Amino acid sequence: MMISYSTREKQMYLSSISSEEYATIDETKQLNLCKINQVIYTIRSTIDNDNSQRNEILNALTSSLQ
């Protein structure tokens, strides 16, 4: 038995998939931003005495994210 779907049903299904994928991508971006902020905070709090080393590490991090 073959089930046939209307064009409207197909469009609704496809749009729901896109929304779910977008939500996953958005959640991943938020998670990555949170981790990046944690890394930056750790760098700043542990290397306060040596500004040149801290700046070098932050510059390397910035370059790797571009």
- 25-59, pLDDT tens digit by residue? 667 777 677 788 888 787 777 766 667 777 887 78
pLDDT of residue 46: 75
Query: What mean pLDDT do residues 10-34 have?
Result: 65
Q: Would the pTM of this model clear 0.75, i.e. be above it?
A: no
pLDDT of residue 10: 62
CA distance 56 to 41: 15
Q: Where are the alpha helices (DSSP H) in the chain?
A: 7-46, 51-65
| AA identity, residue 63 | S
| 17 pLDDT higher than 60 | no
pLDDT of residue 39: 80
